[in-house]
Amino acid sequence: MGDAPLTVVGLGADGWAGLPEPSRAALHDAEVLLGGPRQLDLLPDDVTGERRAWPSPLVPALPGLLEEYDGRRVAVLASGDPMFFGIGATLARIAGPERLRVLTHPSSAALACARLGWGSEHVTVLSVVGRPLDALRRALAPGARLLVLSAGAGSPSQIAALLDDAGWGPSRMTVLERLGAADERVVTGTAAGWRGESDALNVVAVEAVPERGTRLLGETPGLPDDAYVHDGQLTKRDVRAVTLAHLAPRPGELLWDVGAGSGSIGIEWMRADRTCRAVAVESRPERAERIAANAAALGVPGLKVVVGPAPDALADLERPDVVFVGGGLTRAGVLDACLDALGPGGRIVANAVTVQSEAALAAAHAAHGGELVRVQVSRAEPVGGFHGWRPAMPVTIWTYEKENLP
Ligand SMILES: C[S@@+](CC[C@H](N)C(=O)[O-])C[C@H]1O[C@@H](n2cnc3c(N)ncnc32)[C@H](O)[C@@H]1O
């Protein structure tokens, strides 16, 4: 695909007027200018290179475009900071970072923080451009400051409706439109009272304030059982917390949650870090629907749900870093398929409640090693005017890490 340098130039809403001299010089020098039609229109006539508007969809077309213009001086136009939710990172992935010369510009988030007086290191930035809005729910905590990159003019009212629906209607919302342009506009209100139209180019700032009585969730695994909609097929809170400790999610890892039930293990795995991914495998369609609803309500709409029985349903999935088996242990081939799917250093955690599934774990422990733990939780419940301990069924947990050979 060539190795000629590619210059990526960040451009604000004020266009040419806001560009520093090195960026202007790079654009004057370019033989070919690639960018969105709106950005190309911001260039003055004395920028004489051939102008080529991005095709849609852009990403699949990029390798061909770079090939076509190989050997010519190419400048790529980007909005704001090209490396912030922008074309820069995509180009680095496709063409290689060493080919890029990035002339940056303040991002919309930097401009928004400047207008709001917010320290940008304390802000959670999310994008709803091509991504589900429900991810906002994960970031809601009293006083949290969020900046949401909008998908368009409709995003502010959709964000307001979601906040209101989630019990965060009193949150303060500021919509910052066309930041940096002469006609920049900043509109403030509350999520519950949000009215009015927005410009298509906007970011939404949220200072989260819950309504009285809104359930506040903690950051660590072991969410309350009633945070989930379930039919009883739920790994209960205390055992779930212990199970997640054994699973030990690390950033970027992919989990298979096999026999996912209500989805709580995959959901809490994904809540551990924004880069953690999970696939929930569940044979019953009505449970699969519930898993997707629980994932959306708890702010991890990216959880992938696969309907079908293991081991067959596992065959075409992306290989996992870690597997949890919460159901199907006594079904022929399930545990073997999970172990086979793991690469060196991969981890498996399996929970058993019945005598038969516990026997399967004892056999796995004898064959492979690892750690066997049994937990039994008792809960205080009213007995007459007093309280007594009501024991839940014990749960056996097998944890095993595949050898990581050099
Ligand atoms: C694909 S992201 C690109 C972000 C860009 N690279 C940056 O540095 O801000 C596009 C989103 O950024 C936000 N955005 C970019 N420029 C903006 C501006 N001047 N004013 C308000 N929002 C802007 C909007 O939410 C828009 O939908």
CATH code where residue 164 lies:
3.30.950.10
Q: For tokens 């059982």, what's the residue? A: 225
CA of 184 to the centre of ligand 1 (A): 13
Give the number of the atom of ligand 1 that is nearest the alpha carbon of residue 13.
19
Most informative mutation of 201, 202, 206 for ligand 1 (most atoms within 8 A of CB): 201
Is residue 338 exposed (0-12), middle (13-18) or buried (19+ Cβ within 10 Å)?
buried
- Both 197 and 319 in one domain: the answer is no
331 closest CA partner among 264, 259, 231: 259
Give the number of the atom of ligand 1 that is nearest the alpha carbon of residue 181.
19
Q: Which CATH number do you get for residue 43?
A: 3.40.1010.10
Rounded alpha-carbon distances, angstroms, from residue 12 to 28, 78, 180, 312: 17, 9, 7, 51
- Both 329 and 380 in one domain: the answer is yes
Establish if 278 belongs to a structural domain.
yes
Give the integer Cα–Cα distance in Å for 380 and 58: 59
264 closest CA partner among 326, 348, 334, 217: 326
Establish if 215 belongs to a structural domain.
no
Assess contact for 89 and 62: CB atoms under 8 A. no
234 closest CA partner among 243, 225, 242: 225
Establish if 50 belongs to a structural domain.
yes
User: Does ligand 1 lie within 6 Å of residue 324's CB atom?
Assistant: no
Give the integer Cα–Cα distance in Å for 378 and 394: 10
Q: How many domains does the chain have?
A: 3
Give the integer Cα–Cα distance in Å for 152 and 202: 7
Q: Which CATH number do you get for residue 271?
A: 3.40.50.150
- Both 202 and 244 in one domain: the answer is no
- Both 373 and 248 in one domain: the answer is yes
Give the integer Cα–Cα distance in Å for 101 and 98: 8
Most informative mutation of 56, 105, 155, 203 for ligand 1 (most atoms within 8 A of CB): 203
Per the structure block, which two tokens stand in for 153? 């003019």
- Both 72 and 132 in one domain: the answer is no
User: Does ligand 1 lie within 6 Å of residue 279's CB atom?
Assistant: no
Establish if 229 belongs to a structural domain.
yes
Q: Which domain holds residue 201?
A: 109-207
- Both 101 and 244 in one domain: the answer is no
User: Does ligand 1 lie within 6 Å of residue 107's CB atom?
Assistant: yes
Domain boundary among 105, 126, 153: 105
User: Does ligand 1 lie within 6 Å of residue 108's CB atom?
Assistant: yes
- Both 101 and 114 in one domain: the answer is no
Assess contact for 207 and 201: CB atoms under 8 A. no
Consecutive H or E run containing 146: strand 145-149
User: Does ligand 1 lie within 6 Å of residue 326's CB atom?
Assistant: no
User: Does ligand 1 lie within 6 Å of residue 174's CB atom?
Assistant: no
Sign of the four-CA dihedral 60, 64, 70, 75: negative
Per the structure block, which two tokens stand in for 326? 């919460």
User: Does ligand 1 lie within 6 Å of residue 84's CB atom?
Assistant: yes
Per the structure block, which two tokens stand in for 39? 């950005």
- Both 203 and 271 in one domain: the answer is no
Domain boundary among 76, 105, 134: 105
pLDDT at res. 264: 97
Give the integer Cα–Cα distance in Å for 112 and 204: 9
Atom 5 in ligand 1: residue holding the nearest Cα? 80
Domain boundary among 52, 82, 105: 105
Give the integer Cα–Cα distance in Å for 163 and 181: 29
pLDDT at res. 196: 84
Per-residue pLDDT of the chain (406 residues; tens, 9 = 90+): 566 789 999 999 999 999 999 999 999 999 999 999 989 999 999 999 999 999 888 889 888 998 899 889 999 999 999 999 999 999 999 999 999 999 999 999 999 999 999 999 999 999 999 999 999 999 999 999 999 999 999 999 999 999 999 999 999 999 999 999 999 999 999 999 999 899 999 999 999 999 999 999 999 999 999 999 998 889 999 999 999 999 999 999 999 999 999 999 999 999 999 999 999 999 999 999 999 999 999 999 999 999 999 999 999 999 999 999 998 888 889 999 999 999 999 999 999 999 999 999 999 999 999 999 999 999 999 999 999 999 999 999 999 999 886 6
Give the integer Cα–Cα distance in Å for 81 and 104: 5
In which order are the strands placed within the sheet that holds 371-375?
Answer: 304-307, 277-282, 254-258, 322-325, 347-352, 395-401, 371-375
- Both 188 and 305 in one domain: the answer is no
